[in-house]
A and B are shown apart, each in its own frame.
Chain A
Amino acid sequence: MREAVMKVFRGTDSGSGEFKTYKVPIEEGMVVLDAIHYIQGYLDPELAVRWNCKAAKCGSCSAEVNGHPALMCKSRMDHFPEGQEITVEPIKTFPLVKDLVTDVSWNYEVNKKIPAFKPSENADWTFMQEDIERVQEFRKCIECFLCQNVCHVLRDHDRKDVFYGPRFFVRMAGLEMHPLDTENRAGILKDQAGLGYCNITKCCTEVCPEEIHITDNAIIPLKERVVDEFYDPVAKLFKTIFGKKK
């Protein structure tokens, strides 16, 4: 039987961690999460990992596989050269809980601060597919937080105090571009959310498993909106007369 050699990070927030090596039999079409489950089921019942759907739909199983941020349930073992060790470690931007599990609760706190959907009161609730294509793209987000994990503002500079991160720009873009929304989030985007810290490196877009065009479709239009609102008096005047959007 063919075997894969898995190097899996083991550790908790209290002490330093280390990689442990496990040998896992390979089945056709196996993904990294299957290998982790094999380790749990046969070698080490204490190995901590988050997962739910095993079908790239819930965004629970984010990790760094051979240094690459990815969903474990979507990472095929046969995409790695045979015989090569596969390393699996937790995502880096959030504090470690244990093994492959990190504390992502900061994201849930950020989400609470985003002003809710506020539909116009006299809406008749008909709108066309063309008008929501973009919004639907943003609403595909499965909250895997891989984009948060790679964004240098969070990962390298740890500016969780001033920056909401790409996931929440996607969320705000989905609200702002809803044809019936009337809330104005430009001020928040500029100030609390720290949109200005993003320098469009596109690292977030590259790792998004849902293939959301985070930078081009969400962040850049939001930046334009902030500019219109705060730095362009003509556009602003135009808006106060003709309504917020469109």
Chain B
Amino acid sequence: MANYEVHEYDVLVVGAGGAGLRAAIEASSMGVTVGLVCKSLLGKAHTVMAEGGVAAALANVDEQDGWETHFCDTMNGGKMMNNWRMAQLHAQEAPDRVRELERWGAVFDRTKDGKILQRAFGGHKWKRLCHVGDRTGLEMIRTLQDRGVHQGITVYMECAITRLLKDGNKVSGAFGYFREDGRYVLFKAKAIVLATGGVGKSFPVTSNSWEYTGDGHALAYDAGAQLIDMEFVQFHPTGMVWPPGVRGILVTEGVRGEGGILRNSKGERFMFKYLPEATRNDYAETEEEAKIWVDAAIRGEKTQARRPPELSTRDNVARSIYLEVKAGRGSPHGGVFLDISYQDPDRVKKKLPSMYHQFKELADVDITQQPMEVGPTMHYIMGGVRVDADTAESQVPGLFAAGEVSGGMHGGNRLGGNSLSDLIVFGRRAGAGAAEYAKKHTAAPSIVDDQIKAAIDEMEAPFNRKDGKNPYELQRKMHEIMSTYVGIFREENDLKKGISLLEALKEEIKQVSISGTKTYNPGWHMCRDLRNMIICSEAIARSALSRTESRGAHSRLDYTETDPEQQKSNTAIFQDGDSMKLEKTPTPVMPEELKKLFVKKEPANA
């Protein structure tokens, strides 16, 4: 058997984005030993790319705001599929978590009276997103990274976990390799927190990076945990569409938050006509009213005017853009126009500096002078590991999950800004949950040699297969399948076809091979990543097939209506022998006092 190095911690955190860092900080502050592993260099996780802001009802700008409204917005945005307890904890704790970041050195933009400034975002009733221009994620990750480093957390960079090891039904460790030289590593741990982010690389057009191969989803699935809500994949309405090389790169919702207007090729401001009946009243009725709202927002003043229709929820805006393009009213490169050029150029550059540079440098477009071309891009997965709301523990003892890899918090559709807040609220809870667990289970974890051998064999196999399949070619095949059959609009026949193609692809993936050495060999890494991607792709397709309605981010052409009955169950995916099983489990039912929040004064919010 090949050599491997061994490390031992009370708590091992897999992933160093916002969720993983916050979990590691919490666990280490509780006096247990903590190791932190990440596939990239520290500080490069997806969290660094977050732009628009972190949602927290601080009520610094709109004093009417409070956790109750944030809670209702989140549940309404999620089409009531959310785990209500997670949404409640999230809304209640986000303000403290944001203040804590400030205490740790984050420097948010300020209001006129020196408090943390907040901006509007889709589906949020009040101005709620704390931000730093359009680089909020960078601020968050740097702050947490420095905090963690000074607490003495050991970080293993460019190290990928490929297996969770178990002792009976409990987790006992994790196995992986270092990208740099391919050496193997075993982490013995009493508790493990998964904070690996999302699954975007299953799709060709995405705002996600190479890291998003759904590793945590697949690791948890392999270890016996359930994945819930996997049909809910968020297509962000505004990705870049031109030039081809940048297709999918995100255009922050902050552009619309700052007053950006969507128009089709006829110059029509089409979002007015796509507002769902239930929420029409929350949005401006005319361009004039929308303008009054934007002008007041710019001056930092109050107004009776309602927010512009562009601030509808992401699922709705993405679908609307798709339909406009389909109807032949798209922009030259198959998107629509997003325009902020009517505003003062200096303000645009100040509020959206990285968007300004991104378009100027990558697309030769000056956003202070011309509109941008935008279209939907795969952005986020609401589905993930089923966890207990309070402790973030999965159904596998000792295995915790937080951040994008976990499921339940966002239900059928995530509101912008609710991810960064999710990371710090549930990152902290997962860290605490894991530390408590490790303190209770004092026995050293025991490792089964067979499991290590299997993990090593799996990694060695691609080198030993001669003339197997090229990993990049297989990824392109997966992209083709997912974009053709499991895209933004779905249909029974397509999904069935997609699933059968994915099954065939699964067999091909078993034949993947690579040459060369283990030294920083991305092709070799991809060989392993493919397995995670195919698990997630299949879970998404099967879950989508099982939900015979349209709800939130899940849109069916053959079932266009929302079916109140289907709100009552979440879709759960789990492993049964060699095959993937699906089960409907009851959606957690809100207690009466929370239900009252909805009937009182909160209009449904779409």
Contacts and interface: CB of A to CB of B under 8 A. Distances in A.
Contacts of A111: 146, 149
Interface in B107-164: 107, 109-110, 113-115, 132-133, 135, 138-139, 142, 146-147, 149-150, 155, 157
B211 A52 contact: yes
A31 B163 CA distance: 35
Q: Of residues A28, A46, A47, A57, which shows the largest number of chain B Cβ atoms within 10 Å of its Cβ?
A: A57
B114 A128 contact: yes
Contact of A12 (B99, B103, B244, B519): B519
B504 to A, nearest CB: 21
Interface string A100-144: 010111001001100011010000011111001001100110110
Q: Is the interface of A mostly helix, strand, loop or mixed?
A: loop
A144 B147 CA distance: 20
Interface stretch (B215-223, B358-366, B489-497, B595-603): B358-366
Contacts of A119: 103, 105
A51 B49 CA distance: 12
A47 B354 contact: no
A54 B110 contact: no
B230 to A, nearest CB: 24
A58 interface: yes
A242 interface: no
B114 A117 contact: no
Interface in B163-200: 180
B105 A117 contact: yes
A52 B245 CA distance: 14
B102 A57 contact: no
A128 B110 contact: yes
Interface stretch (B282-290, B468-476, B552-560): B468-476
B242 interface: yes
Contacts of B472: 40-42, 45
A51 B358 contact: no
Contacts of B180: 97, 101, 103
Given A40-B472, A57-B354, A58-B48, A49 B522 contact: yes
Contact of B523 (A29, A46, A108): A46
Interface string A55-95: 11111100000000000001010000000000000000000
A39 B526 CA distance: 15
Nearest to B152: A112
Contact of A29 (B42, B115, B246): B246
Q: Of residues A53, A55, A175, which shows the largest number of chain B Cβ atoms within 10 Å of its Cβ?
A: A55
A46 B107 contact: no
Given A46-B516, A48-B522, A135-B107, A29 B146 contact: no
A104 B49 CA distance: 21
A34 interface: yes
Sort chain B's interface into a size bin. 35 or more
Contact of A136 (B40, B43, B107, B514): B107
A45 B103 contact: no
B4 interface: no
B210 interface: yes
A30 interface: yes
Contact of B514 (A46, A58, A99): A46
A20 interface: no
A104 B40 CA distance: 12
A112 B149 contact: yes
A190 interface: no
Contacts of A51: 209-210
A60 B516 contact: no
A132 B115 CA distance: 12
Contacts of A178: 105, 107
A136 B132 contact: yes
Nearest to B135: A140
B150 A56 contact: no
A225 interface: no
B342 interface: no
Given A40-B523, A126-B114, A57 B244 contact: no
A59 B45 CA distance: 11
A97 B149 contact: no
Contact of B48 (A34, A57, A129): A57
Interface in B348-388: 354, 357-358, 361-364
B476 A129 contact: no
A140 B470 CA distance: 39
Contact of B249 (A55, A58, A98): A55
A-B interface, 6 closest residue pairs, ranked by CB to CB distance from nearest: A29-B243, A45-B523, A126-B114, A117-B105, A48-B520, A98-B520
Interface of A: 12, 27-31, 34, 40-42, 45-60, 74, 76, 97-99, 101, 103-105, 108, 111-112, 116-117, 119, 125-129, 132, 135-136, 139-140, 142-143, 175, 178
6 contacts: A46-B516, A52-B211, A108-B41, A112-B150, A116-B146, A136-B133
Interface of B: 40-46, 48-49, 99, 102-105, 107, 109-110, 113-115, 132-133, 135, 138-139, 142, 146-147, 149-150, 155, 157, 180, 209-211, 242-246, 249-250, 354, 357-358, 361-364, 470-472, 476, 514-516, 519-524, 526
